[in-house]
Structure 1
Amino acid sequence: MPVTHAANGLPEQAATTQIDIAGHPVPVLKGGLYDRYRSNPPLAVIQAEAPDIDLSWFKSLEKTRVDMGFESYSPNFYYRNSRVTAVYTADLERLRALMPAAVLEQVQPLQVWPGRGLVAFTAYTYDYCDNDSYNEVAVSIITNEPGKANLGPFSLVGQSMAKDFWGYVLKLPVNTELARVRGVVGYNLPKWLTGIDRREDAQAVTYDIVDARSGKVDVVFRARKLDGLSHEPGLVTNSFTNLDHQGRLAFGYATSRQVSHASSMQADSAELVLGDGELSRYIHELQLGRMVKYEYVPEFQSALYAPKPLAALD
């Protein structure tokens, strides 16, 4: 039987406790990783609780205590995760209109051909991480790197070769209050709480994204499981530019170790079904076109770093 969830995204039968994050009362799993360690669990604890996870990469990374609107540690570790991403063309002028003027002075949407930019739609499942487990969906504009020329498709090829991608996050629903508050307060990200359910069968992974206002499924993202998976681990960095809570330019990034992955350019690899809810209406306005790339990553690990002022970018 499927697990039912409370309004806070946690399983209805789970024991919870309430903690304070920057003045926000947040329910978390009682005895969970976040309840016990606040983003700084010893790797020995992770090894004991999940002995099947390879922690060698995390042993090479160092956490530091940071103030990100609340006291935490950076980077935040994501030990066992999966994701699916579809990249679509979109209306370039609409993308520019959705970015703050101060951000546009530093980065712009990549133009892949006249009047068309790129939007990445990504669904994540974080099975085991410093802030327990949750699902997340990101709608992001692909941009140039700050300080680098925007050369459209040439910039995209350069980012692909370097495995170093830049974007501006438009929407980022999550399905736990802990993930929402940490993301909004700590990372300046446009998160809200709603139902995000993941289903899996032999052929595909499907995410049902609920409209927070109506309580009905609004967006369905069906992503095909690809054959020919590469099991050669590789590092990929995804960075974002935005404004902090004082309106100052900032950036953040996550480095991921992709353990199992494959990609495709076939149009039937992913299907995005839109309803009439708030997120669907927003996506409709982007005027999405053809899907230009699909990524199936059934296993990856990640380290998410606390944001910094853009001026600190080397």
Structure 2
Amino acid sequence: MKTSNLVATAGVILSALLNPSWADGTSETMQAESTTINIAGHEVPVVRGGLYDRYRSNPPLSVIESEAPDVDLSWFKGLQKERVDIGFESYSPNFYYKNSRVTAIFTADLDKLRELMPAEVLEQVQPLQVWPGRGLVALTAYAYHYCDNDSYNEIGLSVITNRPGSSNFGPLTLMTQAMSSNFWGYVLKLPVNTELARVRGVVGYNLPKWLTGIDYRETDKAVVVEILDSETGKVDVTLETRKLSELSSKPSMVTNSFTNVDQTGRLTTGYAISRQLGHASSTSAESVNLTLTEGSLSTYMKALKLGRMMKYEYVPEFQSALYSPKPL
């Protein structure tokens, strides 16, 4: 099998890396009346009367069923939450009931990817080399329409890696991950558009989140995502992707795991399980249009020397459960 075919097979990579991992707030959320709560010493605005204000990541499913009767909760009924201390009291896993995402996987400069990963992480995982000098990054835009953290948008930029402690055979490792629907990565960037998502992600999940504007909208034929520069307020990155017509409605399960370093210097891993309810993919470069400017995130991405778009995933409907990180 050609290397490009192996990569295409593995495209579902890091759905929500984390998932995972993952942001908070749509424009509707940000316009709603807010109240302020304390999370690990941070004063955080949240939607007054929203799910997080009322239940702090542990809403009864009966409440979700009442407020969102169109959402299928059968999968969540088989999952058990537990109370955890992640720098503040919370519950794991965090539930994401109704969401959408688009993912584009590009080749990137392998040496640059290694340079951007901490030395202690590189001792356990390495970027997958798909051909000499080239690794892979996944750029994902998430719209969390309804979840334990109310609603929010998020952008994930992640290096695709091997599993900690396992051998790295490049395309063969990628194929193995694809066959098991169990993918691994290291999150480089994870901007979000609510302070709740930022604080929870940084303090609780050790993720590189910052607060900025993220507009995730749909037209008749496309999904258009605009990411603003947090310093200038101008459009920094624009991702426009095609809506694919031949959607599979057969649910598929994907696990996305990540390795990083917590605030005490310990290596940790976290993961998210996603239930994809509507999904399609393409390897056509015409499916994705990525526009970079002179903004900070664009400049960062240009340094990766992005190359060929290997796979595009259009997932208009998925559900997810994000588990809190644990020491590696």
TM-score by length of 1: 0.95
1:279 aligns with 2:297: yes
1:132 is matched with: 150
Contact in 2 for aligned 1:74/1:304 (Cα 8 Å): yes
1:48 is matched with: 66
2:15 is matched with: none
1:75 is matched with: 93
Residues in 2 aligned to 1:88 and 1:147: alpha-carbon distance in whole angstroms: 25
Q: Look up the SS of the partner of 1:169 in the other structure.
A: strand
Gap regions ≥5 residues in structure 2: 1-24
Residues in 2 aligned to 1:52 and 1:39: alpha-carbon distance in whole angstroms: 21
The CA deviation at 1:9 is: 6.8
Structure 1 counterpart of 2:234, one-letter code: K
Instruction: Pick the aligned partner of 1:32 from 36, 50, 64.
Output: 50
Aligned residues: 304
1:252 is matched with: 270
Matches within 5 A, 1:26-175: 26-175=44-193
2:237 is matched with: 219
The CA deviation at 1:11 is: 4.7
Contact in 2 for aligned 1:9/1:194 (Cα 8 Å): no
Structure 2 counterpart of 1:156, one-letter code: L
Residues in 2 aligned to 1:13 and 1:118: alpha-carbon distance in whole angstroms: 37
1:188 aligns with 2:206: yes
% identity of equivalent residues = 70
Q: CA RMSD in A?
A: 1.2
Contact in 1 for aligned 2:29/2:151 (Cα 8 Å): no
Contact in 2 for aligned 1:10/1:29 (Cα 8 Å): no
Instruction: Pick the aligned partner of 2:223 from 205, 209, 218.
Output: 205
Residues in 1 aligned to 2:258 and 2:59: alpha-carbon distance in whole angstroms: 26
Gap regions ≥5 residues in structure 1: 1-6
The CA deviation at 1:271 is: 1.1
1:307 aligns with 2:325: yes
Q: Look up the SS of the partner of 1:194 in the other structure.
A: coil
Change (3 A) 1:149 1:235: same
Q: How far does the alpha carbon of each residue in 1:224-282 deviate from its partner, in whole angstroms, 9 at most, with x for none? A: 10011000001100000000100110000000000000011001111110011100000
2:283 is matched with: 265
The CA deviation at 1:10 is: 6.7
1:233 is matched with: 251
Q: Look up the SS of the partner of 2:64 in the other structure.
A: helix
Residues in 2 aligned to 1:208 and 1:193: alpha-carbon distance in whole angstroms: 14
Structure 1 counterpart of 2:217, one-letter code: R
Runs of 4+ in 1 over 2 A off after TM superposition: 7-13
TM-score by length of 2: 0.91
1:294 is matched with: 312
Contact in 2 for aligned 1:8/1:27 (Cα 8 Å): no
Change (3 A) 1:8 1:123: closer
Structure 2 counterpart of 1:28, one-letter code: V
The CA deviation at 1:172 is: 0.2
Change (3 A) 1:225 1:275: same
Residues in 2 aligned to 1:252 and 1:266: alpha-carbon distance in whole angstroms: 32
Contact in 2 for aligned 1:9/1:177 (Cα 8 Å): no
Contact in 1 for aligned 2:157/2:187 (Cα 8 Å): yes
Contact in 1 for aligned 2:29/2:47 (Cα 8 Å): no
2:21 is matched with: none
Contact in 2 for aligned 1:253/1:307 (Cα 8 Å): yes
Q: How far does the alpha carbon of each residue in 1:74-97 deviate from its partner, in whole angstroms, 9 at most, with x for none? A: 000000000000000000000000
Contact in 1 for aligned 2:26/2:151 (Cα 8 Å): no
